Amino acid sequence: MSKLNSSGYTLIELLLTLSLLSILISLPLISLPKLNEPTQYEADLIAKQIHEQFLAAQQVAMSTGKRIYIRTDNDRKLFLIRYHALEDYMVIPYQFDNMYFETITLFPNDVSYLANGHPSRSGSFFLVIGQYRYRFTIYLGKGMISYKRL
Has residue 137 got a pLDDT over 80?
A: yes
What confidence score (pLDDT) does residue 3 get? 60
pLDDT, tens only, 38-72: 889 999 999 999 999 999 999 999 999 999 999 99
Q: Which amino acid is at 72?
A: T
Whether this model's pTM surpasses 0.85 = no
Going by pLDDT thresholds of 50, 70 and 90, the confidence category of residue 11 is: confident
Mean of pLDDT over the chain: 87
Q: Is the pLDDT of residue 76 over 70?
A: yes
Question: Are the beta carbons of 127 and 47 closer than 8 angstroms?
Answer: yes
Cβ–Cβ < 8 Å for 107, 138: no
Q: What is the reported pLDDT for 33? A: 63
Cα separation, 140 vs 82, in Å, equals 20
C-alpha 80/C-alpha 70 separation (Å) is 6
Contacts of 82 (CB under 8 A, 6+ apart): 68, 69, 70, 71, 88, 89
Average pLDDT of the residues in 130-135: 94
CA angle 92, 95, 99 (to 5 degrees): 105
Task: Give me the domains of the chain, ranges plus CATH numbers.
Answer: 40-149 (3.55.40.10)
Q: Any bridge partners for residue 128, and if so which?
A: 100, 133
